[in-house]
Amino acid sequence: MQNIQKNLLKENNTSEKILTGDRATGSLHLGHFVGSLQQRVKLQEQYMQTVLVADMQGLTDNGHNPQKVSANILNVVADYLAVGIDPVKTTICLQSKIPALAELTMYYSNLVSIARLERNPTVKSEISSKSFGRAIPAGFLTYPISQAADITGFNATLIPVGEDQLPMLEQTNEIVRKLNNIAQQQVLVECKPLLSKVSRLPSVDGRSKMSKSLGNTIMLAASEKEISKAVKSMYTDPEHLNILDPGKIEGNVVFTYLDAFHEDPDYVASLKRHYQAGGLGDGKTKNILETCLQDMIKPIRERRQLYMNDKAQLIEVLKRGTEKSQDEANQVLQKVKSAFGLNLF
Ligand code: TRP
């Protein structure tokens, strides 16, 4: 009996705790959907999972434009629910309403040097692409410390991320080791990445990074018209001028999306053979993709609209998840303060 229970525990992986988060700076798009949302819907069946709406992190490069964050918090929550993240199985919470996370950030910041922050490759490339010049907000340079507070504050051990987030996990584990070393006991646990197998979805134009402001993406809330327009403008093979010519699959965004979203891979494989041999036009492949995306996004858009019509319900979901998370983060905060000897009363 005991053995059976142990095995069950192992199969359910209940000892691992998952945390993911999104900066609340915009509604979510198909890139988020294949890269992480679909995975969260699966993981919630097996693991304890928390999803953090990172509004404070969103402010780190939007201090001058805070509406970009405040206006998107409920959009992100509506996106979560619309794709099937279930608030009964997944704790959905709001970063700014968990003060222990900000306090932890303050304590951890004493364990990290400015030089170390400046070496973080993700932050480094973000700084150069955002052209802050010398005016880098202190909050931006230090957001990896705040992310370490998020991860440790929820006792998270497994973090599903893309490659760009690996430096954050490395910095988190450095803080964990330093703190445990100061306390001479294990106060915090290290985390591990769970790297997503799906490769990054290209933007509609096949070149730059997907972004709503560049207009090269398909949002989960996209209307029928927007989907149609995006598919029609999709990058294919610029040398495939004549239907009878052989076409190239590599770099052809229509086929990348068919691979990612079409439910029948054998059919997609036969389309690819036809396209490569010649005789299959881009209009036809785009029509097939458009039907597939319209069918997939329609129920998501409709559910999302229902949630957006009932903001009180969205706020309630967020509030309940946040309250649950506050207790946990407070307990971690007490342990960290004790590690620094700050536990007089
Ligand atoms: N940095 C993450 C991103 O830009 C968002 C995030 C904030 C996060 N806190 C987190 C991710 C904690 C994982 C764990 O997407």
Residue minimizing CA distance to atom 15 of ligand 1: 22
- Give this prediction's pTM: 0.92
The pLDDT of residue 91: 98
Asked if residue 52 has its Cβ within 6 Å of ligand 1, the reply is yes
Measured distance CA(258)–CA(11) in Å, rounded: 33
**Ligand 1 pocket, residue 57 CB under 6 Å:** yes
> How many whole angstroms separate alpha carbon 251 and alpha carbon 202?
9
Residue 5's pLDDT is 41
Query: Would the CB of 54 count as within 6 Å of ligand 1?
Result: yes
Task: Tell me how far CA of residue 255 lies from CA of 49, 114, 273, 288, in angstroms.
Answer: 33, 44, 11, 10
Check if the beta carbon of residue 337 is closer than 8 Å to that of residue 187. Answer: no
Residue 122: exposure state from Cβ atoms within 10 A (0-12, 13-18, ≥19): middle
Reduced to 3 states, what is the DSSP secondary structure of residue 247?
coil
pLDDT at 12: 54
Q: Side chain identity at 209, as an amino acid letter?
A: K
Write the DSSP symbol of residue 142. T
Give the residue, by CA position, lying nearest to ligand 1 atom 13: 20
- The conformation of residue 208, written as its DSSP 8-state character, comes to S
* Best probe residue, ligand 1, of 32, 90, 152, 168 (max atoms within 8 Å of C-beta): 168
Q: b or e along 58-94 (b: 16 or more beta carbons within 10 Å of the residue's beta carbon)?
A: bbbbbeeeeebbeebbbbbbbbbbbbbbebebbbbbb
- The response to whether residue 237 sits with its C-beta less than 6 Å from ligand 1 reads no
Q: Whose CA is nearest to atom 3 of ligand 1?
A: 22
Query: What is the model's pLDDT at position 212?
Result: 72
Query: For residue 21, how far is its CA from the centre of ligand 1 (angstroms)?
Result: 4
> Of 62, 69, 114, whose CA–CA distance to 96 is shortest?
69
Rounded to whole angstroms, the Cα distance separating 3 from 298 reads: 46
Beta carbon of 93 within 6 Å of any ligand 1 atom: no
Pocket test for ligand 1, best of 17, 18, 20, 195 (most atoms within 8 A of CB): 20
Q: What is the 3-state secondary structure (H, E, C) of 32-73?
A: HHHHHHHHHHHHCCCCEEEEEEEHHHHHCCCCCCCHHHHCCH
**Residues pairing with 17 in the sheet:** 48
Alpha-carbon distance of 309 to 303, in angstroms, equals: 10
Each residue's pLDDT, cut to its tens digit, for the chain (345 residues) gives 344 444 344 355 568 999 999 999 999 999 999 988 999 999 999 999 999 999 999 999 999 999 999 999 999 999 999 999 999 999 999 999 999 999 999 999 999 999 999 999 999 999 988 878 779 999 999 999 999 999 999 999 999 988 889 999 999 999 999 999 999 999 999 999 998 766 688 999 987 678 777 789 999 999 999 999 999 999 999 999 999 999 999 999 999 999 999 999 999 999 999 999 999 999 999 999 999 999 999 999 999 999 999 999 999 999 999 999 999 999 999 999 999 999 998
**Residue 128 CB partners (closer than 8 Å, separation 6+):** none
Coil/strand/helix, residue 192: strand
The best mutation among 18, 22, 61, 96 to test binding of ligand 1, ranked by most ligand atoms within 8 Å of the C-beta, falls on 22
Q: Which residue has the tokens 């001058």?
A: 64
H-helix or E-strand spanning residue 101: helix 99-108
How many angstroms from the chain centroid is the CA of residue 100? 22
